Amino acid sequence: MSKGKIIKSEMLGATQKLKNEMGRHYLAIEQAYREGKPVAWATSGTPVELLYAMDVQPSLPENSATISAAQKYSQNFIEVAEDAGYSYDLCSYFKTNMGVTLTETTDLGKGGIRKPTFMLSSDVICDTHVDWFQVQAERYKVPHFTIDVPHVVSNTTNKQKNYYKKYVIEQLWKFLDFMADILGHEMDMEKAKEVAKNSYELSMIWQDIYKLRKNIPSPVSTKDTFGGLFPLFTMPGLKSPIKLYKRMYKEAKQRVDNGVGALQEENFRLMLSGIPFWYNLKFFNILEQWGAIIVYEPYTYSFSKFMNPDITKEMIMNKPVESMAELMLSFWYIYDLQTRIKRFEETVKEYSIDGVLLHNNMSCRPNSCGLYDLKKHLMEDFDIPCLIIDADMNDPRKLNDTQVTNKIESFIELLRERKKK
């Protein structure tokens, strides 16, 4: 095994400002609490835009849970939740949040969170989101609204998708009624359109940044995207993250124009499927010693939700609620197995990817279901090398550092051999 010299990838200067941007988000939450303004917990995949349109400050416990992990507090919170009876096998985001609330942690630096005015969840990504908020809404005695999104499978027909969409639309209107009852005001449609327009713009720039990653060498690494995705699901609809993304784009474009990559010596281009290990993001730096860089993550890409070609900017402006329903049903993150296989194959070609890392997330079963078949198809039908990594997004106890490093090292060796042929 020959290792190259250790060269660290270069984060975009603009990404450094992400802390400030997220800081503003958390400040807005704190301010809303101080001023007695409505705050809603929301699960990822829900139309957070509707909260902004109704002047409700969103607070996403999943996002707070990643902070707990990054600051090395998640294990402690998870164990608190387990002591309260929640199984070792349940979602580590949920248990982090449960631990945070059981210990009444409000320190934002530790991933703390406060009681919301109401909660919004959906089963679009997983049932856990709904179970999680149900349990917490019961504890806090706050209203909870769930958007039930029918499950799209590989043989779902367009006819079925049409009545699925109607069902989701009906629920979104009901959700607006639910909020109006709590808040005492209706949604201002002009504001809703403005929010939808901003959300669309934010997503489009993110997609543009992604397109730049197709270049060899890639101007952007996971140091920019893992954290960079947060505004997409915490602040869709606001103007300020658009500026940040524009700066990221501009800088990345300059790198492309100058032939500069995020990594000085780019030998292998990888794709990472699944949620990263928030408690050990530095783990992914080990790839750099072999000149390997991750150039595409379906996870961070999927939150730029406006990728359904049937949803145009005009539709979003004219029918923001209906468009949200359509987007929830065509969310990259929940693609059925057949579509996923097809999209992976296309992406590998578009981004000149040498190999795919698949994170078998121990406490996120919906996320890991189908990974084995996906791997089989990519390898056998399209000759794409794949490696499954067993770990967890927020629970450090479930990552065997040495074992995973060894597996990746062997995988890189395999990619090296392929390149020689």
Give the x/- contact pattern for another protein in 138-177, rule: CB under 8 A: x-------x-x-xx-xxxx--xx--xx-xx--xx--x---
| Choice from 132, 290, 301, 331 touching another protein (CB under 8 A) | 132
The reply on whether position 181 binds another protein by CB under 8 A is: no
Q: Which stretch binds another protein (CB under 8 A): 126-134, 251-259, 285-293, 316-324?
A: 126-134
Give per-residue burial for 44-78: e unless 16+ CB within 10 Å, then b. bbbbbbbbbbbebbbbbbbbbbbbbbbeebbbebb
* Amino acid making up residue 50: L
Determine the Cα–Cα distance for residues 226 and 417; give it in Å rounded to an integer: 29
87 near another protein (CB under 8 A): yes
Residue 238 near another protein by CB under 8 A: no
Whole-Å CA distances, 154 to 306, 309, 381: 21, 19, 18
Binding letters toward another protein, positions 332-351, x by CB under 8 A: ----xxx-------------
Instruction: Mention every residue, 6+ apart, whose C-beta is less than 8 A from residue 99.
Output: 76, 77, 78, 79, 80, 81, 105
Write the binding mask 56 to 85 for another protein: x where contact by CB under 8 A, - elsewhere.
----------------------------xx
Write the CA distances from 412 to 169, 267, 298, 347, 409, integer angstroms: 46, 10, 21, 20, 5
CB-CB contact of 72 with 279 (8 Å): yes
Read off φ and ψ for residue 236, nearest 5 degrees: -70, 120
> Which window, 2-10, 123-131, 222-230, 408-416, contacts another protein (CB under 8 A)?
123-131
Q: How far is the CB of 148 from another protein (least distance, A)?
A: 4
C-beta neighbour count of 80 within 10 angstroms: 19
DSSP letters along 249-279, please? HHHHHHHHHTT--SSSS--EEEEEES---GG
* Interface with another protein, residue 128, by CB under 8 A: yes
CB nearer to another protein: pick between 103 and 134: 134
Please, what is the minimum distance in Å from the beta carbon of residue 382 to another protein? Answer: 16
Site for another protein in 343-402 (CB under 8 A): 360, 362, 365-366, 368-373
Q: Residues 11, 70, 135, 286: which binds another protein (CB under 8 A)?
A: 135
Q: Which is closer to another protein, CB of 223 or CB of 359?
A: 359
Q: What is the C-alpha separation between 96 and 75, in angstroms, rounded? A: 8
x/- site string to another protein, residues 290 to 329, per CB under 8 A?
----------------------------------------
Q: Which of 392, 388, 390, 332 is nearest to 364 (CA)?
A: 392
Q: How far is the CB of 277 from another protein (least distance, A)?
A: 17
How far apart CA 222 and CA 284 sit, in angstroms, is 8
Which parts of this chain interact with another protein (CB under 8 A)?
A: 84-87, 89-90, 123, 126-128, 130-132, 134-135, 138, 146, 148, 150-151, 153-156, 159-160, 163-164, 166-167, 170-171, 174, 336-338, 360, 362, 365-366, 368-373
